[in-house]
Amino acid sequence: MTNNLPPWRTSLSRALHLNRSQPYSRYFQLATVTPEGLPKNRTVVFRGYLNNSNQIKIVTDLRSEKVSQIEHQAWGEICWYFTKTREQFRLAGILNLITANGSPANLQQERHLVWQQLSDAARLQFAWPEPAQARIKDDSAFCSPFPSPDQPLTNFCLLLLDPQRVDHLELRGNPQNRYQYFLDESKTWIRQEVNP
């Protein structure tokens, strides 16, 4: 796979490199759909690709609202805007939630690995009180000892997005440039240049 990257990955790697001076260039917006059919949208952090695949790694909390959304509708769309190079990637695909239970061993291993790679501060958030509930006023509730890097907390989830369609818009061109990528019947990535 590493020798045969899909063409959109080459463009995305280039964008990540050119925007690397800005830490927030690794943040993007993930849209999901509620069981009631309403869109939800939040900023999450890019944690790289799953080994030997194009699946994008995200982390999430089992107590987060997006968990039930993904269980009901596994399709998600990432919108990733790079401020320095003024380009946007939209990556639509299937979300796969890796919880503490019930996933294949290789994905559990990956979940452990991603947990280890988080900062202490990021791991601590998974020990915080229930998100989106009435604020606990005693800040000590947010100051428990750092969780062990060796064992993920049970509410820590790895979330994978497996892109099926990609739309790349370069605002800087004159006119702008836009490319769409999709998989053909033989699972080969096709690149199509379209009007912006």
Q: Report the distance separating Cα 61 and Cα 5, nearest Å.
A: 30
Residue 182, class by beta-carbon neighbours within 10 Å (0-12 exposed, 13-18 middle, 19+ buried)? middle
Asked if residue 68 binds a second copy (CB under 8 A), the reply is: no
In the window 169-188, what residues touch a second copy (CB under 8 A)?
A: 175, 178, 180
Half-sphere exposure of 53 (CA within 13 A, CB side): 15
Please pick, from the candidates 31, 62, 100, 183, the single residue that binds a second copy as defined by CB under 8 A: 31
Please pick, from the candidates 1, 18, 136, 190, the single residue that binds a second copy as defined by CB under 8 A: 136
Instruction: Name the token pair of 8.
Output: 């959109």
Residue 195, class by beta-carbon neighbours within 10 Å (0-12 exposed, 13-18 middle, 19+ buried)? exposed
Residue with tokens 């890019």, as numbered in its chain: 46
Print the binding letters for residues 76-95 with a second copy: x by CB under 8 A, - otherwise: xxxx-x-x----x-x-x---
Print the binding letters for residues 110-129 with a second copy: x by CB under 8 A, - otherwise: ---------------x--xx
DSSP 3-state assignment of 8?
helix
**Site residues (vs a second copy, CB under 8 A):** 22, 24, 27, 29-33, 37-43, 73, 75-79, 81, 83, 88, 90, 92, 125, 128-136, 139, 142-143, 175, 178, 180, 192-196
